[in-house]
C-alpha cells in the first residue's frame, strides 16, 4: 500500500476505519436491551432468557431489573475522582510501573520490528529487492515470496489477536470458578504477558541468521504478550470499578511517553544495522524489572 499509494495511505485507511467503527458504535450500542429502540420484544426476552441461568429473576423481572438498574445508575452521580488519594496508593504505582514496561516493549516492537527484519534478516521493506552494499551477516538471497516484511511484521500481532481470546476466556473461567483469588489470577497472566515475551525475545537475540526462528520468536513474544489483557490491564477495574477510567487515563499518559522515549533509546543502543536486534534484550529486561510491580497490586 505504501509503495503504490504513498506512506500516508495506511494512516488514512486506519483512521477511516476507526471513524466508521465509532459511528456504528454510537448508532448500535445502548446500556441495556430494554433501551435499544430497534430490538423487538421477542429478542429482548430471548436475551433475558439466556441470562436466566445467571439470575434468579423471571423474564419480566429481568427486564424490570435492567430498566431500574440503568435508571438508578444514571440518577446517581459519583463524586469527583480522588486523584490525590489515587496517586498515593501503592497499587496505583505498581500498575503504573508495569504499564510503563509494557508500553516500552510495545512501542519498541512496533517501531523496530520492520527495521530488524529489513536490516538483519533482509526481508525487504520495498516491493523491489534492491542490491545492498556492505550487507552484514544474514546476506544470503531471500526468495521473492518472502521479499517483503510488511506481512511478517504484522504476523506477531495476528498471533496476539488470536491468543487474546483463549487467554481472556481462561481468565474469566478461573475468576468465576472461585478457586483462586483475583490477585493470583492477575499475577499469573501478568507474568505470562510480560515475562513470557521477555524470554522469547532473549531467544531472538541468539537466532543469528535463522529467519524461521526469528519470525517464530517474534510471534511467540507477541502471542504471550496477550496475557497482559487478563493481567495488568484488568487491575484498573479490580482496584476501583467506579474510577477505572480515570486511573487508566493517568497511567496511559505516562505509558504514551514511551512512544517517543523508546525509539530514542533504541537509536542510541544500535550503532549499526546488525546490532539493531540488541534492543530486544534491553526492552524485555525492562519489563522483567517492571513486572513485579503489577504482581503486588491488589484489588480494593
Range 27-39 average pLDDT: 80
Contact 9, 19 (CB under 8 A): no
| Residue 131: pLDDT over 50 | no
- Write down the pLDDT at residue 276: 47
What is the rounded average pLDDT of the residues 17-38? 86
Question: Mind listing the pLDDT tens digit for each residue in 61-79?
Answer: 555 655 555 544 544 567 8
Determine the Cα–Cα distance for residues 194 and 189; give it in Å rounded to an integer: 9
Helices (H), the chain: 2-5, 9-28, 41-51, 59-75, 83-87, 90-119, 150-177, 182-190, 196-204, 211-225, 235-239, 244-256, 258-269, 279-295
Q: Which residue has the cell 430497534?
A: 38
Query: For residue 17, what pLDDT is reported?
Result: 95
CA distances, 156 to each of 105, 149, 151, 209, 288 (Å):
13, 12, 9, 19, 20
273: DSSP letter: S
Average pLDDT rounded to a whole number, residues 217-231: 90
At residue 238, the pLDDT reads 84
Summary mean pLDDT of the chain: 75
Nearest alpha carbon to residue 109 among 201, 240, 205, 172: 201
**Superfamily for the 83-295 domain:** MFS general substrate transporter like domains (1.20.1250.20)
DSSP 256: H
Determine the angle formed by the axes of helices 90-119 and 150-177, rounding to 10 degrees.
Answer: 150
DSSP code, position 124: B
Q: Averaging pLDDT over each range in 16-20, 62-66, 119-123, 139-143, which range is the top one?
A: 16-20
Assess whether pLDDT exceeds 50 at residue 268.
yes
- List, for residues 73-118, the tens digit of each pLDDT value: 544 567 888 888 888 888 888 888 888 888 888 888 888 888 778 7
pLDDT for 293 beyond 50 = no
* Segment of 56-60, 141-145, 215-219 carrying the highest mean pLDDT: 215-219
Q: What was the pLDDT predicted at 68?
A: 59
Contact 296, 94 (CB under 8 A): yes
pTM, to two decimals: 0.69
Q: Is the pLDDT of residue 181 over 80?
A: yes
The domain ranges of the chain are 2-75, 83-295
CB proximity list for 91: less than 8 A, separation 6 or greater: 235, 239, 296, 297, 298, 300
Structure confidence by residue, pLDDT tens digits, 235-261: 888 888 888 888 888 888 888 888 888
Amino acid at each position: 500500500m505504501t509503495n503504490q499509494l504513498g506512506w500516508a495511505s495506511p494512516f488514512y485507511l486506519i483512521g477511516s476505519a476507526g471513524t466508521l467503527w465509532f459511528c456504528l458504535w454510537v448508532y448500535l450500542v445502548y446500556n441495556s436491551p430494554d433501551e435499544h429502540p430497534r430490538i423487538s420484544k421477542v429478542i429482548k426476552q430471548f436475551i433475558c432468557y439466556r441470562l436466566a441461568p445467571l439470575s434468579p429473576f423471571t423474564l419480566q423481572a429481568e427486564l424490570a431489573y435492567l430498566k431500574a438498574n440503568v435508571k438508578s445508575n444514571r440518577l446517581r452521580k459519583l463524586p469527583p475522582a480522588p486523584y490525590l488519594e489515587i496517586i498515593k496508593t501503592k497499587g496505583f504505582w505498581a500498575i503504573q510501573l508495569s504499564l510503563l514496561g509494557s508500553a516500552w516493549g510495545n512501542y519498541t516492537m512496533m517501531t523496530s520490528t520492520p527495521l530488524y527484519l529489513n536490516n538483519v534478516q533482509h526481508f525487504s521493506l520495498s516491493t523491489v529487492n534492491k542490491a545492498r552494499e556492505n550487507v552484514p551477516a544474514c546476506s544470503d538471497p531471500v526468495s521473492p515470496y518472502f521479499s517483503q516484511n510488511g506481512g511478517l511484521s504484522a504476523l506477531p500481532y495476528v498471533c496476539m489477536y488470536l491468543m487474546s481470546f483463549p487467554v481472556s476466556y481462561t481468565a474469566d473461567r478461573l475468576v468465576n470458578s472461585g478457586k483462586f483469588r483475583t490477585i493470583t489470577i492477575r499475577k499469573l497472566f501478568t507474568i505470562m504477558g510480560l515475562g513470557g515475551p521477555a524470554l522469547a525475545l532473549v531467544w531472538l537475540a541468539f537466532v543469528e541468521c535463522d529467519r524461521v526462528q526469528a519470525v517464530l520468536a517474534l510471534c511467540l513474544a507477541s502471542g504471550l504478550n496477550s496475557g497482559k489483557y487478563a493481567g495488568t490491564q484488568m487491575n484498573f477495574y479490580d482496584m476501583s470499578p467506579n474510577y477505572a477510567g480515570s486511573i487508566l487515563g493517568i497511567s496511559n499518559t505516562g505509558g504514551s511517553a514511551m512512544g517517543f522515549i523508546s525509539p530514542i533509546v533504541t537509536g542510541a543502543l544500535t550503532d549499526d544495522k546488525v546490532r539493531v536486534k540488541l534492543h530486544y534484550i534491553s526492552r524485555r529486561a525492562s519489563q522483567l524489572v517492571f513486572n513485579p510491580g503489577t504482581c503486588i497490586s491488589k484489588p480494593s
